[in-house]
């Protein structure tokens, strides 16, 4: 058997597992729990096997010349696919306790698995067509997670998520048609695929197409002005789904932008043009806007959603600089932010589950009742602000170095300034929760406190993700060495 056929296993396993969830033996909660956690664990193993063994591409079907569905696994795909499989397992563990009091658990787990299969397809995409199919399929499979509770707010948030994502995908499809017309191939090729002679005659069109494509895929990443779905959809979804929407699914937009900019249009087309300056401007607006809105927001999960709007645009800012150091920081921040934001949403979910409290103003003294949970929240908050030796410091260091060394007028110094202001705002909206949780004040009724710590199903993934936040800061070379080599080939 061709070793490249292994690529099918992580893509097809979640779909096959989702289809069997309605089988009679799995309608029992205990059996379903074992099945879901087992499938997610095997999915991580399969993905790791593919990352270690697969060296070539697998063509599934050819529709027309240069129109085929192809799977491959390069260095970038390995990082994103392993991240996806690991975070889905963490969410699966967390959801076992959290979903006990929710209805339609079978449906929730089915779409949890289906969305992982779709995102894995996107990570394994070997060309633009496969990427687009994975992007659209992931949107359709993940939207029911946002709609799960079926409240009016959930319906509004889910429909907004669908509208923004489908609209963004349409802009991405315009980019596909442009590359197909003026490129030599739609396969992902470091440095771009545009035919030099033909492209030179249509530079304005190509720049417009590149900008619209970045804007479209940026909708999934929450980039202004297509960011409004995040604070609408995330707070209404179950916490395990909110964590994935915020920590991982937004990164699908990031991966799509990397593939299109660095492997299709090519960075040389954009460097020094209005597209680069407009893209940089939008990312910095998003960073500041998201931080400011998070600082003012009182609902716990909605505050974290606005935080994601800001933090994911740190990544997009690094990519827009078109510099190797900034790209390294951006991809490292993909991993770091995913671990931190999943942990923060798990914390919010654990608090809601155990106390019913959704407003940060009601969290006074919660650190005395849920010390492990809130210490994980505090340590991950330090990472998100960028305090050493946690991973957030290293990723933001690379981003700042990339900006300062880029030589881009204004943005070379404005970018680090905005990132610093955002970090201060991040400290304000996260540390205020910690201070209130552990230091409620002399007038607080300590006699009303009681232990509310969640079970191991929630505590274990929280501790693991907190450990990842430390490890990526202490041993960043695990990721940065690989990404630096990739950045050197695509810029």
Q: What is the pLDDT of residues 318-363, one digit of tens each?
A: 999 999 999 999 999 999 999 999 999 999 999 998 888 888 888 8
- The string of pLDDT tens digits covering residues 49-66 is 999 888 888 898 888 877
Res. 287 pLDDT band, cuts 50 70 90 = very high
Question: Would you state the torsion angle of the CA atoms of residues 334, 335, 341, 342, taken in this order, to the nearest 10 degrees?
Answer: 130
pLDDT score of 491 = 77
Coil, strand or helix at 149: coil
Res. 315 pLDDT band, cuts 50 70 90 = very high
pLDDT score of 12 = 95
Res. 5 pLDDT band, cuts 50 70 90 = confident
pLDDT score of 322 = 94
* Locus of tokens 């260095």: 75
Checking if the pLDDT of 177 tops 70, the result is yes
| Closest of 224, 128, 257 to residue 181, by C-alpha | 128
pLDDT score of 1 = 55
Checking if the pLDDT of 130 tops 80, the result is yes
Domain ranges of the chain: 273-491
Q: Rounded to an integer, what distance in angstroms lies between the CA atom of residue 322 and that of residue 270?
A: 9
Cis upstream peptide for 364 (omega within 30°) = no
- Averaged pLDDT, 36-41: 94
pLDDT score of 231 = 86
| Closest of 295, 300, 448, 292 to residue 373, by C-alpha | 300
Neighbour-count burial for 117-127, b at 16+ CB within 10 Å, e otherwise: bbbbbbbbbbb
The percent of residues above 90 in pLDDT, for the chain, comes to 65
- Averaged pLDDT, 312-318: 95
Coil, strand or helix at 60: strand
- Contact predicate 43/13, CB 8 Å: yes
| Closest of 264, 277, 421, 249 to residue 342, by C-alpha | 249
Token pair belonging to 197: 């002679």
Mean pLDDT of the chain: 91
H/E/C letters for each residue in 192-248? Answer: CCECHHHHHCCHHHHHHHHHHHHHHHHHHCCCCCCCCHHHHHHHHCCHHHHHHHHHH
Res. 432 pLDDT band, cuts 50 70 90 = very high
- Contact predicate 311/384, CB 8 Å: yes
User: Is the Cα dihedral 349, 351, 356, 357 positive or negative?
Assistant: negative
- The string of pLDDT tens digits covering residues 192-222 is 999 888 888 889 999 999 999 999 999 999 8
* Locus of tokens 């779909």: 15
Lowest mean pLDDT among 112-121, 317-326, 478-487: 478-487
CA angle 99, 103, 106 (to 5 degrees): 75
- Contact predicate 160/229, CB 8 Å: yes
Res. 233 pLDDT band, cuts 50 70 90 = confident
- The string of pLDDT tens digits covering residues 436-465 is 988 887 777 666 667 888 889 999 999 999
- Averaged pLDDT, 130-147: 93
pLDDT score of 447 = 67
User: What pTM value is reported for the model?
Assistant: 0.94
């Amino acid at each position: 058997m061709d070793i490249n056929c292994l690529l099918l296993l992580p893509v097809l396993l979640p779909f096959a597992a989702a289809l069997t969830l309605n089988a009679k033996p799995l309608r029992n909660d205990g059996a379903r729990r074992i099945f879901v956690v087992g499938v997610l664990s095997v999915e991580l193993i399969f993905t790791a096997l593919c990352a270690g063994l697969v060296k070539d591409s697998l063509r599934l079907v050819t529709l027309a010349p240069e129109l085929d569905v192809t799977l491959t696994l390069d260095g970038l795909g390995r990082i994103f696919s392993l991240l996806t499989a690991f975070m889905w397992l963490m969410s699966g563990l967390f959801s076992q306790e959290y979903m006990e009091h929710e209805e339609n658990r079978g449906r929730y787990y089915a779409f949890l698995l289906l969305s992982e299969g779709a995102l894995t397809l996107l990570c394994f995409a070997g060309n633009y067509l496969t990427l687009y199919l994975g992007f659209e399929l992931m949107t359709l499979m993940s939207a029911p997670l946002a709609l799960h509770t079926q409240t009016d707010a959930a319906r509004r948030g889910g429909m907004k998520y669908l509208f923004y994502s489908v609209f963004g995908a349409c802009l991405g499809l315009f980019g596909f048609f442009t590359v197909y017309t003026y490129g030599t191939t739609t396969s992902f090729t470091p440095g771009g695929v545009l035919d030099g002679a033909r492209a030179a005659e249509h530079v304005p069109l190509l720049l417009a197409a590149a900008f619209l494509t970045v804007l479209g895929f940026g909708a999934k990443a929450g980039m202004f002005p297509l960011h409004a779905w995040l604070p609408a959809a995330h707070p209404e979804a179950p916490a395990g789904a909110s964590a994935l929407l915020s920590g991982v699914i937004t990164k699908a937009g990031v991966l799509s932008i990397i593939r299109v900019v660095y492997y299709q249009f090519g960075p040389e087309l954009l460097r020094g043009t209005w597209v680069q300056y407009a893209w940089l401007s939008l990312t910095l607006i998003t960073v500041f806007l998201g931080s400011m809105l998070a600082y003012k927001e009182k609902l716990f999960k909605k505050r974290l959603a606005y935080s994601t709007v800001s933090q994911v645009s740190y990544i997009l800012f690094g990519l827009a600089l078109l510099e190797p150091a900034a790209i390294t920081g951006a991809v490292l921040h993909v991993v770091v932010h995913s671990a931190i934001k999943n942990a923060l949403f798990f914390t919010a979910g654990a608090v809601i589950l155990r106390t019913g409290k959704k407003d940060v103003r009601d969290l006074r003294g919660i650190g005395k009742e849920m010390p492990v949970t809130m210490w994980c929240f505090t340590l991950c908050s330090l990472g998100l602000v960028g305090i050493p030796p946690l991973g957030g410091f290293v990723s933001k260091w690379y981003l700042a170095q990339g900006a300062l060394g880029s030589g881009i007028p204004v943005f070379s110094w404005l970018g680090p300034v905005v990132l610093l202001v955002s970090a201060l705002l991040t400290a304000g909206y996260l540390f205020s929760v910690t201070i209130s949780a552990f230091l409620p004040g002399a007038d607080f009724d300590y006699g009303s406190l009681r232990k509310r710590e969640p079970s191991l199903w929630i505590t274990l993934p929280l501790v693991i993700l907190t450990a990842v936040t430390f490890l990526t800061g202490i041993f960043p070379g695990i990721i940065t060495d690989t990404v630096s080599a990739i950045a050197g080939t695509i810029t």
